[in-house]
Structure 1
Amino acid sequence: MAGPGDGFRLMRGSTGFFTSGDPGIRRTDPRACRTAWYAAARAAGGRVGEFEARQIAQTFHTATIERPDGRCCALFQAYTPLVAFVDEPHDWYTDQFREAPAWAAGLGDFGFTVLSAAVLLSPLSSADTSALSAVERRQIDYWRPETVGAVLFNSWD
């Protein structure tokens, strides 16, 4: 899991804004997310509730696990293999991030990095944004997100 002090770097395309000529932009396959999420549900002693692939303008897929002690919700970033945890599904996120449950560490076996709440809630000014394109910087200037998580899990249009 990525934590504070890891020198978190926002990767090109992670805002959801890029041009067709941008090299190295890839999408996180919803099928890979779903496969990892089913394994996580088994590890959590629960069952997959919903899995919703990203909607237009969203930068994330949403997944839930139903457990006897309640529901758990994860966000899979659509352009980088990053995962965040929140209490409830929403259209976008600013400061609703929470720590991942211990069983979420198994998502790493599927190539995903689970982000800590500390990283997601850290000020955008503390992140390394050098890899972002000019179009991404313009969107950040326009939308004015305050946290790393708000950049990664957005619904900017």
Structure 2
Amino acid sequence: MNTADSRVGIRWEPGGTGFRDRTDPPLPRTDPRTCRAAWHAAARVAGGQVEDFTEQEYPQNFHSATINDRDGTHIALFHAHHPLIAFVGDRRYRYSDEFRDAPTWATVLTDAGFAVLSAARLLSPLTESDTSALSAAEWRQIKHWRPETLGATLFNAWD
């Protein structure tokens, strides 16, 4: 995904939804160990403590993690196929409009190679993104689940 400039829409890469056709090559994987290491580094910068890190389980297409610090609880979703991170207000099975802006210490995640997406971007309509790279399998899922936001499409629990 092209996330270098927050003022432009996201250009999707195959697997952004977590789906593919059986005949397509396997989707890339975001290594949970890399995510966990970046999350622990973020906790050190935040002066907080990692409460948990939960690896992706079907049908979710994201890992989730929590840090507690002097400012409260921070929950992040790590996309299972691309180095993307979203912050949310609480733990849920699926997400649609619960996205939040990242805390200031989240720059350590960017330094580790992740794109930390803003709430404004995650809450933007899917129609504002370049979806030309999505596969037929991904479009079938989008038409079935009808997500309204970019975040709900990227971080989903579709089966």
Measured against the shorter chain, the TM-score band is: over 0.9
| Residue matched to 1:78 | 80
Give the Cα–Cα distance (whole angstroms) in 2 for the partners of residues 38 and 60 of structure 1: 17
| Residue matched to 1:32 | 34
| Residue matched to 2:144 | 142
User: What does residue range 1-157 of structure 1 map to in structure 2 within 5 Å?
Assistant: 4-23=6-25, 25-157=27-159
**SS in structure 1 of the partner of residue 142 of structure 2:** helix
Comparing 23-32 with 102-111, greater Cα deviation is found at 23-32
Matched-pair contact (CA < 8 Å) for 2:21–2:136: no
**SS in structure 1 of the partner of residue 73 of structure 2:** strand
**Alignment coverage as a number of residue pairs:** 157
Provide the TM-score with structure 2 as the length reference. Answer: 0.93
Give the Cα–Cα distance (whole angstroms) in 2 for the partners of residues 155 and 43 of structure 1: 31
Give the Cα–Cα distance (whole angstroms) in 2 for the partners of residues 96 and 66 of structure 1: 19
Matched-pair contact (CA < 8 Å) for 1:3–1:116: no
Deviations for 1:15-73, whole angstroms, at most 9, x for unmatched residues?
11113542472011110000000000001110100100011110100000011331110
Give the Cα–Cα distance (whole angstroms) in 1 for the partners of residues 103 and 127 of structure 2: 27
List alignment gaps of at least 5 residues for structure 1: none
List alignment gaps of at least 5 residues for structure 2: none
Provide the TM-score with structure 1 as the length reference. Answer: 0.94
Which letter maps to 1:48?
V
Identity of aligned residues (%): 57
